[in-house]
Amino acid sequence: MSKGDSSRPGIDSNLAKQLEEELHAVLRRQMNSRKPVPFPRTNFWDLISDLSNFLETEVNRLGKAEGWSLRTQAAAKRQSNIRRATSELARKRLVSLLEHSTTNLFNANPFPGDSSIKSQELHSMDWTRHDPSERAFYSRIEELIKKFKNDIKWEKIQFGVLSEFDEDTLKVTIGTTQLDEFTDEKITEDGTPELLFVGSGDDQDSFDDLVEDDEERIAKAETFSEFNNESLELDERNSAVTKELQRIRIIKTSDDAFLDPNGNDFLLNVGDVHQIEASFANMLIEFGFAELANL
């Protein structure tokens, strides 16, 4: 019995059998569920601890009275099964509690008026049907997740510049018109979002400075196009100079076409003479499909 539980009465063989059945039943349900399943008792883990102590005492008693008899072996095997089931259940429970708390705290709604994400939130935990030690674990996990979100600046990641303003307010420039003004049909489910108009005074002047004159922008585009065309022509001339051509004669026909350096099909028929790039010509000669045909 754990420290601080000395006032809790021990268990008898009937309660031990009942707890054992409940343990395996909860484990089976938890194995098929990603969320924490309810416990049959609120102090379930305390009772499982008592069950383990009860079985330990029983194995020791039978061992002293009968040695390593069949009854002692059966009690030891029962104890081992209980420990294995308890370990697996604890692991599954902690994983499900962690997933539940993480999912709840990371369900962000970055855009005002978007209510679809809110409907995806998990139901809150009913702690009257779970063990108090699990509630303490869950609360601690929530604290750690909130600290993690604060450390990585989660609000800025999800909300961006909108995080600097009220949740239901969008910052826009003066003159912005909402779609609802052009039709009588209801466009947004939650109504027209509230807008925060900015851009007067110095802010508007700064915005105007960023807008380029159309003629200046077109002139820059034409200059870049001319420079790009000149660069392409120069590259083509350099490429033509550097390419070394070689004259070959086909001495073996192939039913399958080869791909030349330009990606085109190159048919091989005996007697044909071609003047092609040296690298491609040397490959055909090495494969036995051609021979040099110098003039």
The domain spans of the chain are 13-157, 165-210, 243-295
How many Å is the Cα radius of gyration of the chain? 39
Separation CA 234–CA 232 (nearest Å): 5
Mean pLDDT of 169-196: 59
pLDDT score of 49:
92
What string of DSSP letters covers 142-156? HHHHHHHHHHTTHHH
Nearest to 23 by CA among 72, 73, 71, 90: 90
Q: Cα separation of 128 and 292, whole Å?
A: 91
Residue 139: both structure tokens together: 């609360």
Specify the pairing of strand 290-292 against strand 194-198.
Answer: unpaired
Distances (CA, A) of 94 to 3, 98, 136, 184, 277: 23, 6, 12, 52, 68
* Residue 157 pLDDT level (bands cut at 50, 70, 90): confident
Average pLDDT, the chain: 76
Kindly tell me if the per-residue pLDDT of 199 is higher than 60: no
Give the torsion through C-alpha atoms of 241, 244, 249, 253, to 10 deg. Answer: -100
pLDDT of residue 119: 44
Q: How confident is the model at residue 4 (pLDDT cuts 50, 70, 90)?
A: very low
Q: Per residue in 266-287, pLDDT tens?
A: 888 888 888 888 888 888 888 7
188's CB contacts (< 8 A; 6+ apart) are 113, 180
Helix (H) or strand (E) holding 194: strand 194-198
* Confidence (pLDDT) at 289: 86
Q: Residue 232: pLDDT above 60?
A: yes
Other beta carbons within 10 angstroms of residue 22's beta carbon come to 17
- CA 264, distance to chain mean position in Å, is 43
Query: Among the residues of the chain, which ranges form H helices?
Result: 13-31, 44-66, 70-105, 132-151, 154-159, 202-210, 214-242, 278-286
Per-residue pLDDT at 255: 80
Per residue in 107-146, pLDDT (tens digit) is 755 444 454 444 455 677 888 888 889 999 999 988 998 8
Give the per-residue pLDDT at 107. Answer: 74
Report residue 188: phi and psi, to 5°: -95, 140
13-157: CATH class: mainly alpha
Band (pLDDT 50/70/90 cuts) for residue 85 is: very high
Average pLDDT over residues 60-70: 89
pLDDT of the residue at 1: 44
Phi (first) and psi of residue 246, to 5 degrees:
-145, 140
Count of CA atoms in the C-beta half-sphere (13 A) of 44: 26
Task: Assign domain 243-295 one CATH number from 3.40.50.410, 3.40.5.50, 3.90.25.10, 3.40.50.1970.
Answer: 3.40.5.50
Q: What is the DSSP letter of 127?
A: G
Residue 248 and residue 278 in contact, taking contact as beta carbons nearer than 8 Å: no
pLDDT at 7: 41
The overall pTM is greater than 0.85: no
What's the rounded Cα separation, in Å, for the pair 113 and 193?
7
Q: What pLDDT, on the 0 to 100 scale, is given for residue 54? A: 93
- d(CA 90, CA 136) in angstroms, rounded, equals 14
What is the pLDDT at residue 94? 93
Report the pLDDT value the prediction gives residue 3, as an integer from 0 to 100.
44
